[in-house]
Amino acid sequence: MRHTLFPQLLLLLFFAVQPAVGDEDLTTTYREDAGRIIGAALTDEEGWEKLTYLTTVIGARLSGSEQLEQAIAWATETLQDEGFDNVSNQPVDVTHWVRGQESARVVAPIHRDLAILGLGRSVGTPVEGIEAPAVVVASFDELEALGRAAVEGKIVVYAVPWEGYGKTVRYRGDGASRAAALGAVAVLVRSATGRSIASPHTGALRYSDDAPRIPAAAITVEDAEWMQRLVNMGHELRLALSMDATTLPDAESANVVAEIRGSQYPEEVVVMGGHFDSWDVGQGAHDDGAGCIAAWQALRILQRLGLQPRRTLRLVLWTNEENGLAGGKAYREWVGERIDNHVAAIEMDGGAERPLGFGFGLNGVEPDSGDPTYESALEQLQAVGNLLAGIEAGQIFRGGGGAHIGPLVKSGVPGLGLKTVGEHYFDWHHTEADTLDKIDPQDFKRAVAMLAVMGYVLADMPGRLVSADSYGPLAAASP
């Protein structure tokens, strides 16, 4: 079998690094290094072993939990053992929300238990729980049309249609406060997913300052639609909800930082990574263990190959993305006035399905505006993407970034987010089903190759992707 696969691998690598006529010099300059990187990544097993350990032995890693701190300690020690430069923990205070016991049931017109997951940062119910009539709505407009007289003292059920994550997730984020402003005592929110197998999806909510804080939990797509049908048929719905959720004082945590120090311009940095925390359900495999380990292993591949770029390539495993974004904010504050030393920021936080390429964004620049700074950078990135064509992961999309690199991008740093086909990510997102078995090892290895090639070229190429002089007009206010 080894003799059969080896020629195929060589052929794959040959086509992966062949430039088309007219490609930028970056394609030609880095095709040999890219071939070595891709070959090493596709045959690497160490990264998969790390991801297996993280998800199987440590598991879910909610901010403030022992599991997250265990993961941070393990990563820090391993990175030190591997000989990376400047391995450190960057202190971050994080939200410490604890789910506790929770349950919900329909008590009229029939008795039926409901599968729920409390929303992150939700308050709990009174000890005795809440039992109240329910109103079912399909939109905020429908809720407002009902008015206080129809909502006060009731549990609001958001049985909203799936309109993609960006639109549907609004009800998870703002639904509790919108209902509380009309006197609701609790809310149950349809999970933000297009497909469900009786699995609720958790996630964070946002309480507004001008409404009472009421308990909020996610319910399954199936139950949301079932309750909507009951109401449409003229039945009066009554629910019971019990949640022990509580928010404790902020806990101490940390971003994990490690580097391959630059050989010529060590003060200039390409930073990449993912968020090390996850929700307290599942294993945090797609979201975002795979992104963290892929970025880590990308640096490991370069280290093993002896490829030291001109600029520093920095790994950051950010903490507290899921319910606070404290890690990304703390990193930006730490960078301070050195922000113009950041050449690029790369994040992988969209799961580890079959990868396609990278999305690219610049703060304050519409991707289709024809802005010359953006177009010049895009042309260079497309040349780097050519190096990944052989593994079908070289597309460069207009628009991109990530939650934890957001503060950097807002300050003018070019931002890239790894893109996948995204066929099933939201089937597993924030559920008990976000487990290692949902990840194809070959897709994961392609992501490692992508991050390694893109990170290395951006850190090593003679010029910068975007001139530091451009950061002034592009940058937002200081953090």
pLDDT in tens, 206-215: 999 999 999 9
- Nearest CA to 110 among 289, 224, 237, 255? 237
Q: How far is CA 314 from the centre of its chain?
A: 18
Confirm if 283 and 436 have CB atoms less than 8 A apart.
yes
Helix, strand, coil % over all residues of the chain, rounded to 5: 40, 25, 35
Domains of the chain: 2-95+250-474 (3.40.630.10), 100-244 (3.50.30.30)
The token duo for 346 is 């790369």
Is 321 annotated as catalytic?
Answer: yes
Record the tokens describing residue 262, joined without a space: 């630059």
Q: What is the pLDDT of residue 471?
A: 61
Q: By the 8 A CB rule, do 218 and 200 touch? A: yes
3-state DSSP call for residue 250?
Answer: strand
Residues 185, 241: Cα–Cα separation, whole Å: 10
- pLDDT bin (cut points 50, 70, 90) of residue 7 is very low
Contacts of 72 (CB under 8 A, 6+ apart): 89, 253, 254, 256, 276, 317, 319
Q: What is the pTM of this model?
A: 0.93
Per residue in 343-386, pLDDT tens?
A: 999 999 999 999 999 999 999 999 999 999 999 999 999 999 99
Residue 260 CA to residue 311 CA, distance in Å, equals 9
For residue 241, list its beta bridge partners: 104, 130
98-111 pLDDT tens trace: 999 999 999 999 99
pLDDT in tens, 313-347: 999 999 999 999 999 999 999 999 999 999 999 99
Q: DSSP code of 438? A: G
User: Can you give the pLDDT at residue 478?
Assistant: 39
Q: What pLDDT is attached to residue 467?
A: 85
How many residues in total does the chain contain?
479
pLDDT band of 468, cuts 50, 70, 90: confident
pLDDT of residue 4: 40
Per-residue tokens: 438: 């949902």
- How do 155-158 and 186-190 pair as beta strands? parallel
Per-residue confidence (pLDDT) for residue 24, from 0 to 100 = 55
DSSP 3-state of 317: strand
Amino acid at 86: N
3-state secondary structure of 443: helix
Task: Give dist(CA 88, CA 72) in Å, integer.
Answer: 10
| Residues 411 and 470 sit within 8 Å (Cβ to Cβ) | no
- CB-CB contact of 419 with 276 (8 Å): no
Name, in order, each residue with C-beta under 8 angstroms of 473's C-beta and a sequence gap of 6 or more: 364
Give the alpha-carbon dihedral of 77, 83, 86, 90, to 10 degrees.
-20
Tokens, residue 363: 């703060």
Bond from prior residue into 249 cis (ω within 30 degrees of 0): no
> In sequence order, what are the beta bridge partners of 105?
113, 240
Given the residues 268, 321, 347, 353, the one annotated as active site = 321
Q: How far apart are CA 219 and CA 221, in angstroms?
A: 7
Helical axes 25-42 vs 290-305, angle rounded to 10°:
110
Instruction: Find tokens 């990868």 and name the residue.
Output: 355
Q: Which run of H or of E encompasses 142?
A: helix 140-151
- Tens-place pLDDT, residues 115-124: 999 999 999 9
pLDDT of 473: 45
pLDDT of residue 469: 76
- Cα angle, residue 319 at apex, residues 77 and 413 outer, rounded to 5°: 105
Give dist(CA 176, CA 215) in Å, integer: 7
The reported pLDDT for the residue numbered 21 is 35
DSSP 161: P
Give which of 183, 202, 195, 185 is closest to 225, Cα–Cα.
Answer: 195
Residue with tokens 């200039």: 268
pLDDT tens string 137-196: 999 999 999 999 999 999 999 999 999 999 999 999 999 999 999 999 999 999 999 999
Report, as an integer, the average pLDDT of 32-44. 98
**Contact predicate 155/134, CB 8 Å:** yes
Is residue 464 over pLDDT 70? yes
* Mean residue pLDDT across the chain: 94
User: What's at 288, amino acid-wise?
Assistant: D
Tally of CA atoms within 13 A in the half-sphere of 79 that contains its CB: 28
Strand order in the sheet with 415-420: 85-98, 246-260, 311-318, 265-275, 342-347, 415-420, 355-361, 395-398
CB contact at 8 A, 401 and 415:
yes
Average pLDDT over residues 51-66: 98
Could you report how far apart the first and last alpha carbons of the chain are, in Å? 55
